[in-house]
């Protein structure tokens, strides 16, 4: 098993979300249950590093399995999606109007949606 400092250096993904009651909530999705908050982003991030340290120390003490952080290399960047023919036609037609490939157009639409969801 790795030592605490080795785990602390690993690039675990940190999610920062606004709290409905003010401040920010921070979590590490790969470290189930590891979350904290802060009045502002700087405080939330500082608290997150401490929460991660405490979570990892407890996991090491209890011999709890600690997952490795996921990496972009773990993903191919490809997936298959079955869609209705009418939607396929609409996507092809719109991408042609935009002068880009359907793959590029779908990537644009997905990116736009993620940006909207991230703001909420």
Q: For 75-84, what is each residue's pLDDT tens digit? A: 888 888 999 9
Tracing tokens 């608290």 back to the chain, one arrives at 47
How are strands ordered across the β-sheet holding 24-27?
A: 15-18, 24-27, 35-38
Whether residue 6 is predicted with pLDDT greater than 60 in this model: the reply is: yes
d(CA 11, CA 52): 12
- pLDDT at res. 23: 93
- pLDDT at res. 112: 85
User: What are the Cα distances from residue 42, in Å, to 15, 24, 46?
Assistant: 13, 10, 6
Tell if the pTM clears 0.75, that is, is over it: no
Share of the chain above pLDDT 70, in %: 97
Instruction: Count Cβ atoms within 10 A of the Cβ of residue 36 and give its class: 0-12 exposed, 13-18 middle, 19 or more buried.
Output: buried
Q: Contact at 8 Å (CB) between 44 and 25?
A: yes
Whether residue 102 is predicted with pLDDT greater than 60 in this model: the reply is: yes
């Amino acid at each position: 098993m790795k030592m605490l400092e080795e785990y602390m250096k690993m690039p675990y993904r940190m999610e920062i979300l606004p709290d409905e009651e003010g401040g920010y909530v921070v979590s590490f999705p790969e470290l189930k249950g590891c979350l904290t908050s802060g009045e502002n982003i700087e405080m939330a991030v500082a608290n997150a590093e401490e929460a991660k340290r405490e979570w990892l120390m407890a996991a090491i003490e209890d011999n709890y399995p600690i997952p490795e952080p996921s990496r972009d290399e773990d993903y191919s960047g490809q997936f298959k999606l079955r869609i209705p023919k009418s939607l396929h036609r609409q996507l092809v037609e719109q991408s042609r109007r935009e002068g880009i490939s359907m793959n590029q157009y779908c990537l644009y639409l997905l990116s736009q949606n993620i940006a909207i969801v991230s703001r909420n």
